Structure 1
Amino acid sequence: MNISLQTENGKIYSHIRKKWLIETPEELVRQKYVETLVNDYGYSLDQMDEEVRTNIPSERGLGAARADIVIWKNKEDKIKGYNSFIVIECKAENVKIRMKDFYQGTQYAANTRATFLVLHNSKETRYFNIDLNKIPNTEDAFEEILAIPQAEEINDEKRIKELITQTKTFTRDEFTKLLVRCHNIIRNNDKLSPEAAFDEISKILFIKINYEKHEQGREVFTLKKYQENQALTEEYNRIHRVKNPLPYMQQLFKQTKETYKDDHLFEENEVLKIKENSFEAILKELQKYNLSDTSDDVKGIAFEEFLGKTFRGELGQFFTPRTIVDFMTHILDPREGETICDPACGSGGFLIKAFEYVREQIERDIQREKDRFKNELLGENYENLVEDDKQIVTQRVNKIFAKLNKELESVKKDKVYSRLYTLSHDCIYGTDANPRMARVSKMNMIMHGDGHGGVHRHDGLLNINGIFEERFDVIITNPPFGSRVDKDLLVSKEEIFDDEEAIRKYKLRYGQAYQQALDSVKDNVGLPILNMFDVGKYSGLTEVLFMERCLKLLKKGGRMGIVLPEGVLNNTNLQKVREYFEGRAKIVLVCSIPQDVFVAAGASVKSSIVFMKRFTIEEENRYSEVVNGINSELSEKYGLPILKENLDSLEKTEIKDKRNKIRIIKGKIKEIEKLIEEEQKPLIKERFDYEIPIAKVDKAGITTTGAKGENELEVLEVEFKEYNEAAGLWKDNAIKISYSLASDGNLIRTINQEERVLTW
């Protein structure tokens, strides 16, 4: 017998306890899940219970610890108090689930030797098997799995064993293998190149995601469902005499393009380029997954692994190993409110990691605020209050929690933007010149749970919407290197952004700086790209040009991490290049990484990771003072001012052999200036001195085959963090956010002293 959710007048009905309760956000989540357990899994109300007391002490102010929902194998086990079968803990928080936040549920499940644990909130659900041999070490005892059993499967030992072995890691690997099988279907049936086959797989994945999101997870897009809908569509076309109707699979893709049009995933005239039997075969392969509720780390990591397998060798330069991405992100430590850019973003690995890194900071801060409000409002006397007063206080706490939870969703209302919305829309930017990779980057971000990165298909060396000089706090990138920009390569008209409506919006958003950014491209059309770079007169190497580009994209005091060919800054042929950067930025860490790190991605160049900080205004002034002072000293030492005075006098007089004497003095001046240039280098280093840590890592967490290995970068990361804290290498730019309650009970958010009432 099915049950339905019942609410009225601020109350919600508990079918298990058979009574009305206050409708708090937590209670709503719990009762919705009870409905799922009964209607979808087939469990009966008499084998379940709620608020089951344990002997585990709780946090202060919350009374005795309880398990939110407990399921026994049958009614008799429940009555006799036998060990539970499934323990479920629910929270209203709309955040990524972490086991440490579900202390009571995990402890209860361990103590009652349950087989399964479910952690559920309004964002996701995670399932765990409990290895009883590892109790009481609860951290090791819980292994994440794909699902829990249906009620009818409780006594099916074969099925239970199957569920226990279907771990999340196994699921990721299976999903990756499945994508490869789909890829091979297209290669074999449609004879497309690996890259073109990948494009078609991407289209089908997004058709499936679009369909299942529209169905809100209620229905999986299976081959059978496709064929049913196709028959209905063809019948409609026949009855209404639709002329030249699109094939149904093309119609589905057209709808998908419309959904994602603002993300520019697909060209307007793009169509599916495979046979219908290939489309159907792939749907059949994919139908075991509901991509609207498959967790982001399963989809995202599987999608990345599939990318690597597909493009290794052909497009290997676009993929930076995860251990390198993690290390560089942790060293740069991007903070909430900072703008982050990768001007050569490839598959988007750096942008995704930076987004997740900052999002976790926001989640932790929201949890701290919840704990603070809970402690303040519940107070020391909460347990002594009468039940009605407890309910009033609890409702007040839950109202605050509900508003704080919205900060973790991408929402805006009445010109108030949630913190996650701001991170998604205003802080993450990237470009890639390769159209396929720019699209892949966007797809990758969507697969990881966010599709709002400011990623553009554009030459990373040139300005584009939102990506221009002195805009960013953090640059993190692995640019193309080993090739050259020719002197005759010109800035083309195609590089000019001419969407007038978009330009108008960008001007409102970025001000006059945006117009100047556009003009810097427009004014150089028809001229060599090298002319736009200070170092262009020394070198056309792409890595050198990208170093200057990244430095100029940074705000003063901004920081960057960049993967470069080993020794590029020590190359005697690039001495002028090194001096250019030493006069504009501090090198804060150089890390040599093993050659085999990039072998799995098809690259063989020995690389280093270089971290720099662009000079602050104070450092610029100090550097100029040092250089000018040394120049003045050496000029006096070699009599340069007197020579210049003599030259000036000579040019104003008429004497015999004037031209020859001028030539001789100019020659002397040139010799002295060259001498000063050489002598000042060690003096500048001596007077503008700072420490440059250099590290060599032999094991970077990845082997030549792409398998995981020992990772010395993790140790280096800890050591650098301690060094950075002591040296104060860069300023903490994290925005200061606090929350308070207005007299009317509304929640006020204060960002850098600007107050906003959270109206959602």
Structure 2
Amino acid sequence: MFTDEEINAIENLITEQDGRLYIRCQITGRDKIAKPEEIVRQLWIYRLMNRYNYPRDRIRVESPVYFGSSAEPRFADIVVLHEDLEHPYIIFEVKRPNRRDGLEQLKSYCNAQGSPIGVWSNGNEIIRLYKEEPNIFVEIPEIPSYGQSLRDILAQRWTIKWLEEHDELKQGKTTLKKILLDLEELVLGNAGVDVFEEVFKLIYAKLYDEWTGLNDPSYKLEFFVGDRSPAEVKRAITNLLEGAKREWPGIFEPTDRIKLRDNHLKVCVSFLEKIKLFNSNLQIIDEAFEYLIPQVSKKKEGQFFTPRPVIDMVVKMLNPKANEFVIDPACGSGGFLLHAVMWVAGGIISGKPLPENARNFAQNKIYGIDFNEKAVKIAKAINLIVGDGKSHVYKDNSLAPHTWSDETKSGLRGRLLRFPSDSVKDRENQEKFLFFDFDVLMTNPPFAGTVKERDILRLYKLAEKNGKLVDKIGRHILFLERSLQFLKPGGRMAIVLPQGLLNNTSAEYIRRFIIEEARILAVVGLHVNTFKPHTGTKTSVLFLRKYTEEEKQKIQQIRLKYEGEWEEFLENLKEKYQNLSWDSPVDEEEIPEELRSFLETYFENREEIGELPTEETEVEETDATEEKNRGKKPLAVLIQEKSELEEVLREKEEELRSAKAGRKAELKKEIKALQKKIDKLIKEISQRTLAGQISLVLNDERITEAFKKYWLDGKVMKELDYPIFFAVNEKPIKDESGEYRYKKNPDGSFVLDEHGHPVIDHDLDEIAEAFIKFAKEQLAKGDNHFDFWREKDGSI
């Protein structure tokens, strides 16, 4: 907040005495211990005297404040007196950096002393309050200077140019999220309204006010408090909201109105009036709504706003073109879609009309779907504003097209993939909305939660394991397959996934599915802090290009080439492991690598054959295991049951030899039923022992076929063998607490971009540049999977 000149002046007041640092107070002349809070106080005293020109005799420190009949006073940090040198005019509550408390304390001081102005600051942030009535405080845009009246401050009218110059989001002075935290403490927490809805209305109205100013430089902004009454402020903001609803319809109902009480609305407007929302990428709006969407909802749905540097990297790497159709099937607030428009527009979203190609792209080529109503509202609003009144953002569950609304189906019908040579498949797709022809897909799907609905599960190959439909599966896993369904053959995509999906042994079948369906272009590992404070899950961005039909045919030809070799390989295995039963000894070191890998992937687990449980522990262990494994019994219990059934079988067979004719028929039925139970137990036991698993692979037709596919997949991978771009995000976007890390100059000040906003410190831009170089190198070698980086004239 403070200039080098102010900081240097205060540093000159600091001395060392007996190993401790002291600072001389500019008002009392006494030395005080140089604690951080005291340094902030002296910085403000210096500014009051040198920028605001208040004489020293009008400034007091540690000024007593009395509350009612209380004999013990509290002490205000700084008080600027009226000209009568008796009554407080401005009261300061200062805190050490990063402290956020004290706002209520400041208001109580102002009420007790009758001071019209209160200022809170921790040296990094400032809140300036004007007391209109007891307990009703609004923020004012500036502290009055010496000789300047409060009315002079309140009566100012601003143009968009003035707002641009005085934007308090510049230089990192504050953030929209911090402003909302302050408003929650002052009014929103107890306003009795839906905070999201009311703040959204205010932001929508403010965007319209700025948009009007950007398109008419002489326009005087209406989103301000000034010296207007609460009713006058309410009238002005209501008019702006109505204008926004006319210009960008479809977000609010015609009957929607601002529900905040007039005095509460005035406080909110006073805090928002000096920030400019139309900045380089509208990131500040994302941050605000990420705060507003309840934490419980975020944790339950696992849906977190993607940091803009990650979005920028993805868009830059995928290079969407003005003539391509783009979708995000879990679009949230629409960050990927907005940045795709920015990329095509060649720069920022300023609020002014886009270039014609970017305008057409925003209006006709950008699509989004999300199941979170509030996130969709944000995405729709931003896309309407950027797209000049048009938007293709829909509220629905991308994973369940059979539940889509008529609006979603109507909006996406034109993007369905057609199958001219297969009329049955084409008709089915027109009914079920499974396959689409988007050129580019970018998404960060929700990680939390599982899908259990069978009508959804049966739509996906990944929901089937070992020939059976799973009971449940992670939502993000289905989003991976669904994303490929949205892409046309040859389309490209980027998806944020938990890193475990790319390296856990249990996820091998997912990786093989990916390799079957698409060419892997790149994998970028994100830092663990990327989605903090909401989650510390380690994530990666996976970049794919979906195979064309020709490429799939080529893969099929490779499979056919190795059919003969497979038959020979299988016969050798059968010879090696002939007469193998579930309890046969097997040397793990001698198992061929392909078979060992398949066993680990196909079978859920493996147990050692140990001692049988005693009768005392059997029930206890079985109950615990059943609870853990949904009814699965320990291997030892199954072996014991098998042994007991075999003993009963032997007795029945012995009885059969001497039984009479009538009894023989009954015994044969009983023996058949027993044998069936034993066979079932042997299969279950075999699935959990090494020898048994090998036996099943070689003798169970369905499992043998699965192994064949697995083995042939390995041959395909070796033949296709292609380079993949790998990178790791080593410089985190955020710190451990989830706050953005900004670049600093040698003097400790923020590095600012061309719009005056702090620059986030990260290495994702370098990763994107390295990928582009890699892509062009592969293109030069004839790899057309990277042809989206070819220039318009065909050059590289």
- TM-score, normalised via structure 2 length: 0.49
Distance 1:707 1:570, change over 3 A: closer
User: Which residue pairs with 2:539 in the alignment?
Assistant: 607
1:605-684 superposed matches below 5 A: 605-635=537-567, 638=570, 669-670=701-702, 672-684=704-716
User: Which residue pairs with 1:726 in the alignment?
Assistant: 777
Alpha carbons 1:443, 1:451 under 8 Å: kept = no
Quick one: distance in 1 between partners of 2:792 and 2:515?
36
Alpha carbons 1:186, 1:197 under 8 Å: kept = no
Quick one: distance in 2 between partners of 1:737 and 1:409?
25
Quick one: distance in 2 between partners of 1:671 and 1:341?
38
Distance 1:288 1:229, change over 3 A: same
Quick one: distance in 2 between partners of 1:700 and 1:547?
25
Q: Name which of 292, 303, 319 aligns with 2:285.
A: 303
SS of the aligned residue for 2:500 comes to coil
Q: Name which of 494, 511, 519 aligns with 1:561.
A: 494
Quick one: distance in 1 between partners of 2:307 and 2:232?
45
1:29-108 superposed matches below 5 A: none
Quick one: distance in 2 between partners of 1:362 and 1:252?
24
CA deviation string 1:686-728 (max 9, x = no partner): 1232223333332233323322255233332222222111112
Residue-pair matches, total: 450
- Quick one: which amino acid aligns to residue 316 of structure 2? H
Quick one: distance in 2 between partners of 1:352 and 1:684?
39
User: Which residue pairs with 1:170 in the alignment?
Assistant: 170
Distance 1:166 1:228, change over 3 A: closer
CA deviation string 1:285-328 (max 9, x = no partner): 44456xxxx57316823323323444484565331112211111
Alpha carbons 1:338, 1:734 under 8 Å: kept = no
Alpha carbons 1:334, 1:474 under 8 Å: kept = yes
User: Which residue pairs with 1:472 in the alignment?
Assistant: 438
Q: Name which of 243, 263, 267 aligns with 1:281.
A: 267
For residue 343 of structure 1, report the CA deviation from its aligned partner.
Answer: 1.0
- Quick one: which amino acid aligns to residue 684 of structure 1? V
SS of the aligned residue for 1:711 comes to coil
SS of the aligned residue for 1:708 comes to coil
- Quick one: which amino acid aligns to residue 358 of structure 1? V
Quick one: distance in 1 between partners of 2:500 and 2:725?
15
Is 1:266 equivalent to 2:198 in the alignment?
A: no
Is 1:187 equivalent to 2:169 in the alignment?
A: no
Quick one: distance in 2 between partners of 1:299 and 1:714?
16
For residue 449 of structure 1, report the CA deviation from its aligned partner.
Answer: 7.9
Q: Which of structures 1 and 2 has the bigger CA Rg? A: 2
Quick one: distance in 2 between partners of 1:671 and 1:308?
47
Is 1:587 equivalent to 2:520 in the alignment?
A: yes
Alpha carbons 2:328, 2:442 under 8 Å: kept = yes
Deviates more, 1:549-558 or 1:271-280: 271-280
For residue 446 of structure 1, report the CA deviation from its aligned partner.
Answer: 5.7
Instruction: Give aligned-pair identity as a percent.
Output: 22
User: Which residue pairs with 1:420 in the alignment?
Assistant: 358
Quick one: distance in 2 between partners of 1:320 and 1:346?
9
Alpha carbons 1:343, 1:432 under 8 Å: kept = yes
For residue 435 of structure 1, report the CA deviation from its aligned partner.
Answer: 0.8
CA deviation string 1:204-223 (max 9, x = no partner): 43564587689875132156
Alpha carbons 2:207, 2:277 under 8 Å: kept = no
Q: Name which of 706, 722, 737 aligns with 1:690.
A: 722
Unaligned segments of structure 2, at least 5 residues: 1-140, 142-161, 402-407, 417-434, 573-675, 677-695, 743-760
- Quick one: which amino acid aligns to residue 721 of structure 1? I
User: Which residue pairs with 1:384 in the alignment?
Assistant: none
Quick one: distance in 2 between partners of 1:565 and 1:670?
31
For residue 179 of structure 1, report the CA deviation from its aligned partner.
Answer: 5.3
Distance 1:273 1:228, change over 3 A: closer
Unaligned segments of structure 1, at least 5 residues: 1-145, 147-161, 234-246, 364-407, 412-417, 489-527, 641-659, 739-760
User: Which residue pairs with 1:62 in the alignment?
Assistant: none
Alpha carbons 1:338, 1:733 under 8 Å: kept = no
Alpha carbons 1:347, 1:437 under 8 Å: kept = yes
SS of the aligned residue for 2:551 comes to helix
RMSD of equivalent CA atoms = 4.4
Alpha carbons 1:300, 1:448 under 8 Å: kept = no
Quick one: distance in 2 between partners of 1:595 and 1:585?
27
SS of the aligned residue for 2:529 comes to helix
CA deviation string 1:375-424 (max 9, x = no partner): xxxxxxxxxxxxxxxxxxxxxxxxxxxxxxxxx9459xxxxxx3233111
User: Which residue pairs with 1:140 in the alignment?
Assistant: none
Quick one: distance in 2 between partners of 1:179 and 1:279?
13
Alpha carbons 2:248, 2:381 under 8 Å: kept = no
Deviates more, 1:547-556 or 1:722-731: 722-731
Quick one: distance in 2 between partners of 1:715 and 1:444?
28
Q: Name which of 342, 345, 348 aligns with 2:334.
A: 348
SS of the aligned residue for 2:523 comes to strand
1:356-371 superposed matches below 5 A: 356-360=342-346
Is 1:707 equivalent to 2:740 in the alignment?
A: yes
For residue 183 of structure 1, report the CA deviation from its aligned partner.
Answer: 5.2
Alpha carbons 1:482, 1:542 under 8 Å: kept = yes
Quick one: distance in 1 between partners of 2:765 and 2:376?
30
Quick one: distance in 2 between partners of 1:736 and 1:476?
22
Alpha carbons 1:183, 1:197 under 8 Å: kept = no
User: Which residue pairs with 1:219 in the alignment?
Assistant: 220
- Quick one: which amino acid aligns to residue 681 of structure 1? D
Quick one: distance in 2 between partners of 1:581 and 1:421?
35
Is 1:574 equivalent to 2:507 in the alignment?
A: yes
For residue 547 of structure 1, report the CA deviation from its aligned partner.
Answer: 0.6
SS of the aligned residue for 1:700 comes to coil
Alpha carbons 1:178, 1:285 under 8 Å: kept = yes
For residue 188 of structure 1, report the CA deviation from its aligned partner.
Answer: 3.8
Q: Name which of 462, 466, 481 aligns with 1:535.
A: 462
Distance 1:639 1:190, change over 3 A: same
Quick one: distance in 1 between partners of 2:436 and 2:510?
20
Quick one: distance in 2 between partners of 1:638 and 1:544?
32
SS of the aligned residue for 1:547 comes to helix
Distance 1:450 1:179, change over 3 A: farther
For residue 614 of structure 1, report the CA deviation from its aligned partner.
Answer: 0.6
CA deviation string 1:664-696 (max 9, x = no partner): 9x9565564354234323222212322233333
For residue 180 of structure 1, report the CA deviation from its aligned partner.
Answer: 5.0
Q: Name which of 241, 251, 257 aligns with 2:245.
A: 257
Alpha carbons 1:172, 1:301 under 8 Å: kept = no
CA deviation string 1:105-156 (max 9, x = no partner): xxxxxxxxxxxxxxxxxxxxxxxxxxxxxxxxxxxxxxxxx9xxxxxxxxxx
Deviates more, 1:326-335 or 1:558-567: 326-335
For residue 548 of structure 1, report the CA deviation from its aligned partner.
Answer: 0.8
User: Which residue pairs with 1:24 in the alignment?
Assistant: none
- Quick one: which amino acid aligns to residue 475 of structure 1? L
- Quick one: which amino acid aligns to residue 395 of structure 2? R
For residue 227 of structure 1, report the CA deviation from its aligned partner.
Answer: 6.4
For residue 628 of structure 1, report the CA deviation from its aligned partner.
Answer: 3.0
Quick one: distance in 2 between partners of 1:163 and 1:201?
17
Alpha carbons 1:180, 1:306 under 8 Å: kept = no
Quick one: distance in 2 between partners of 1:319 and 1:575?
28
Alpha carbons 2:529, 2:536 under 8 Å: kept = yes
1:341-420 superposed matches below 5 A: 341-360=327-346, 409=353, 418-420=356-358
CA deviation string 1:330-375 (max 9, x = no partner): 1112222122111111122111111111111899xxxxxxxxxxxx
Quick one: distance in 2 between partners of 1:218 and 1:251?
15
Quick one: distance in 2 between partners of 1:615 and 1:339?
18
SS of the aligned residue for 1:474 comes to strand
Distance 1:593 1:726, change over 3 A: same
SS of the aligned residue for 1:577 comes to helix
Distance 1:570 1:189, change over 3 A: closer
